[in-house]
Structure 1
C-alpha cells in the first residue's frame, strides 16, 4: 500500500493561515508590552543604565567591535523566540488536522468498509497509531473471513454427511423392506442381505472416519512420540497390503536413505497416513504395477517420505482440492472405489500435528504424495 501525506482541504488551509496570523498578532503585542516594560524599568534605574553601558564598552568581538545596541540584540532574540513559538503552534494545529483525518478514515472503516486502509504517512508517533489501526483491521477482516469459512465448512460438513449417510441408508431400507414384505424372490434374498450389509459397512466406515477427523482437528489431540525406525515401518506396512496388491498385479518397492533412518513420531498415526495413501493408490491408481515407499534424510533435520504409484494421472484441477474434506476425484465416485472422502483430509491433519507438510504431484508416469517431517516435532514446535 503506497503511503501519502495528509492533504489539507481549503478550509483547513484557511484555518492554518488564520492560526498563523493570530499568533503573529499576539506575539507582536506581547513583544511590544515586554519592550515597554523593560524600557520603563531601565529608565527608572540609573545603576542599571550604567551597567548596560559598561557591558557595551567592555565586551568586544573580533576586530575590536563592541556591542552596538542591546535593544537590537534583545529584539533579534525575541524574534527568534517568536518564530519558534509560531512554528510550534502551526505544527501543533497541523498535527491536530492530521488526527482529524485519521479519525475520519477510522469512522469510514467502522461503517463497514473493511477493504479500506489508512494510507497516510506522518512523521510523528501518530504513524504508529495508523499502522496499529491497519493491523487491527487486517486482523478483524481475517477473523471475519475465517468465521465465514468455518460456518461454510460446517454447512458443507452437514450436507456431505447427510448425503453420504442417506445414500446407503436408502438402499438398506429398500432392500430390508423387500425382505420384510416377502416380495423378494427366495433366490434373491441372500443377495439383498449382502447388499444391505455392504451399505451398513460403508456407513460404519463413514462414522469412524468422521469421528477420527473431528478428533484430529481438536486442539486437545496429542502425539504419542517415540523413536520410529522408518525402514521397518515401511516393510511392515507393505506386508499388510501385499495380498491385495498381488491381486491387482502391483508390487511394492521400499527404499530408505540411510537404511537406519529413525525419527520421533507417533507410530500409530503415521501408520494411518501410510494406510490411507496406499489404499488410495490401490483404489484409484488404475493400471498401476508398482507402488514405491521411499524415505530420504534432508538437511540432517528433516525426512522426506514419498508414496508413489505409476497408475492413472490425477487431473490438475483435482490436485488443488485433493486434501479437502469430502473431496473425491469425480471418476472415482462409484460403488466399488468411492470412499468417505475423508482419508486424505485425515492424512493431512496427522501431518499437520507432526508440524510437517504434504503435497501431491502427478504426471503420465508417476503420482507422488510427498511428505516433509521434522526429525523431532517437539524441536520444530519450539523453533516456531
Structure 2
C-alpha cells in the first residue's frame, strides 16, 4: 500500500545531526566509563588479580600475547552497545518524522480535502493507525453523502406534497369562495360547487393518509404483527372483495397457487395494504386488460407472489422508477383517477419490512408486480436481478 515517506533535505539533515550527536555523546560516555573503570581496577588489588587470571586463561603462544585483554573486551562490548543505541535513536527519530508527515496529511484532509487518503507505507503499528484513519474518513464521507441524500429526499418530499396538496386546496378555496360570495345562479350550481369542493377535500384526505402510511412503514423499527396464514386463501379473499369493481371495468380475477394451502408467516394487515395498492393500480391503469392474475408459488424458503394483468405495457424506461415517491407514468391520467403516487412506494416499504423485495416486469402480453417474501419473518432475501422482457 502506497510509498515510503519521502524525506526532505531538512529532515535528512535532522537524521544526520541526530546520528552525529549520538555518536559524539557515546564516545564521551565510553571514554568516561573507560577512565573510571581503569581507576577502579588500579585501586583494587583483588580486582587486578581477577583480571590477571582471565588474561592467563585467554593467551596463546609462548610469548603470552594477550588475545582478549580486558581493554579489548570492554571496547568490543561498548562498540556493539553503541551501534544498537545509534540505530535505536535514528529509528526513533525517523518514526517521529513519519508521524509528522501523517499529521500533516491529517490537517490536509481536515481542511476539506475529503477525497484525499494517506498512502504512506510505514511501520506496522503506524500503518494500523493510517488504515484506521482512512477507514474513518471513508465512513465520514459516506455518512455525509447519505445525510445530503436524505436532506435532498426530504426537500423533494416537501415539494411534492406541497404541490399535490396545493392543487385540490386551490380548487376547494375557489369553489367555497364562489359560494361565500353567492356567485351561483341556481341551487343546482350551488350543489355542483359544493360537490366539487367535497371531492377535492377527499382527494386531500387520501394524500395525507398515504403520506402518513408511507412515513410509518419507512421506519425500520415499525413493528410487524406476524401470524401464520394461507397465502392462496388470502389471494382468493382479495379477488372476491374486488370482484364487483373488476366487473365494472370488464376484468375477471384468476387466482392460482402451489402448494395449496401455502402456509407462511407475515403481517396480513400490512400485506393486505400491498395487494390493495397493486390491484387498485391494475384496475385504474391496466388499459385494455381482461384479466387480473393473482399467483403464489413456494420456491425453497421463499414465496413468490405475482399480481399481473394483460393490459397495456409499461414503458421499459419507467419500470425502474415505478416505486419512486410521487412517480406517475401518466401524470394526467393519475390526476383524473386521484392517485397520489405513493401507493407503490408504500408497497415496496412494507415488503422490505418483511425482509423481501419487489419489482415490476412488463411485456406486451403481461404486466406483473413480483414479490419475493420469506416463509418466516426474520429472514432477509437478497434481491436477484429481474429478467426484463423486451
Q: Establish whether TM, by shorter chain, passes 0.5.
A: yes
- Deviations for 1:117-152, whole angstroms, at most 9, x for unmatched residues? 222232232223222322332333233333323332
Q: CA deviation at 1:50?
A: 3.5
Q: TM-score, normalised by structure 1?
A: 0.86
C-alpha spacing 1:310/1:7, structure 2 compared with 1 (3 Å): farther
Q: TM-score, normalised by structure 2?
A: 0.85
Aligned to 1:368: 368
Taking the TM superposition and a 5 Å limit, the aligned residue runs for 1:1-384 are: 3-58=2-57, 68-70=67-69, 71-179=71-179, 181-184=182-185, 190-218=191-219, 221-300=222-301, 302-330=302-330, 333-378=333-378
- Deviations for 1:42-81, whole angstroms, at most 9, x for unmatched residues? 33434434323433444699xxxx9821433432332222
Contact 2:59–2:67 (8 Å) recurs in 1? no
Identify which range, 29-38 or 358-367, moves more after superposition.
358-367
> Is there any run of 5+ residues in structure 1 with no aligned partner, and where?
none
Contact 2:231–2:263 (8 Å) recurs in 1? yes
> How far apart in 1 are the matches of 2:285 and 2:38?
104
Contact 2:59–2:68 (8 Å) recurs in 1? no
Aligned residues: 375
C-alpha spacing 1:317/1:43, structure 2 compared with 1 (3 Å): farther
Q: What is the DSSP-based 3-state SS (H/G/I as helix, E as strand, rest coil) of the residue aligned with 2:335?
A: coil
Q: What is the DSSP-based 3-state SS (H/G/I as helix, E as strand, rest coil) of the residue aligned with 1:78?
A: helix
Contact 1:284–1:332 (8 Å) recurs in 2? no
Aligned to 2:384: none
C-alpha spacing 1:60/1:357, structure 2 compared with 1 (3 Å): farther
C-alpha spacing 1:25/1:184, structure 2 compared with 1 (3 Å): farther
> How far apart in 2 are the matches of 1:133 and 1:198?
59
Contact 2:296–2:306 (8 Å) recurs in 1? yes
C-alpha spacing 1:48/1:113, structure 2 compared with 1 (3 Å): same
Q: CA deviation at 1:189?
A: 5.1
C-alpha spacing 1:257/1:95, structure 2 compared with 1 (3 Å): farther
Identify which range, 111-120 or 357-366, moves more after superposition.
357-366
C-alpha spacing 1:261/1:82, structure 2 compared with 1 (3 Å): farther
> How far apart in 1 are the matches of 2:190 and 2:98?
84
> How far apart in 1 are the matches of 2:298 and 2:313?
27
Contact 1:264–1:377 (8 Å) recurs in 2? yes
Identify which range, 258-267 or 175-184, moves more after superposition.
175-184
